[in-house]
Structure 1
Amino acid sequence: MNTPLDLATGVRADGAPVLTVTGEIDMSNADEFRAAIVDAVVDGHRLTVDLTAVEYLDSAALAALFAHVDRLRVVANPLLDSVLTISGLGALTTVTIRD
């Protein structure tokens, strides 16, 4: 059973936006994820996409990240490390793995 997607936006003290994602991101909700990225972007700041509570993401989720790679940085848990590394996302933007 899929874990429902939850998206929450916030702003750090320096004004930089943060999109915190919980659950699973797949083709069934990737458009919602992509729209949340677009909505959370603030001019002059890179968006931090916090995936530390994401249990699964597929190619549709990766496509959403790659579409906006020039405007974001990613924080993820060790479970996602291999897919983010193999996809090459880390070569295009900052990817930080946190326990």
Structure 2
Amino acid sequence: MTTPLSLTPGRGPDGTAFLKVVGEIDMSNTPTFAAALDDIPGRLVVDLTEVEYLDSAGLSVLFAHADRIELVTTDLLEPVVTVSGLSTVTTVRVPDSNA
């Protein structure tokens, strides 16, 4: 069974491509997640602020695209991307939750 995952592409006010990800990223839906990243050429901001779970299969997809993505994540996921080493190969931002 595939874990529910919502992927919404778009462009920010400055024209930067983004992909809003909502739900859980695990081995059941990483092919869909990878295809969504592949479908958007060039630099890409991946918004993970509404991702509740990210496993090693999801991290593998992000590593495969690390040279062209920037991650926006939460306090919950930030340690995962740091410990995995992903934060050393791509930009990771955690929005100020007090804003």
- TM more than 0.5: yes
Segments of 4+ moved more than 3 angstroms: none
What TM-score, normalized to structure 1? 0.90
Q: For residue 90 of structure 1, what is the aligned residue in structure 2?
A: 87
CA deviations over 1:77-99 (Å, ceiling 9, x no partner): 11101111101111111001123
Say whether 1:59 aligns with 2:56.
Answer: yes
Number of equivalent positions: 95
Q: Distance in 1 between matches of 2:57 and 2:3?
A: 16
Where does structure 2 lack aligned partners over 5 or more consecutive residues? none
The residue number in structure 2 matching 1:20 is 20
Q: Where does structure 1 lack aligned partners over 5 or more consecutive residues?
A: none
Amino acid at match of 2:69: L
Work out the percentage of aligned pairs sharing the same amino acid: 54
Q: Give the TM-score normalised by the residue count of structure 2.
A: 0.90
SS state at 1:90 partner: helix
**Paired AA for residue 92 in structure 1:** V
RMSD over aligned Cα atoms = 1.4
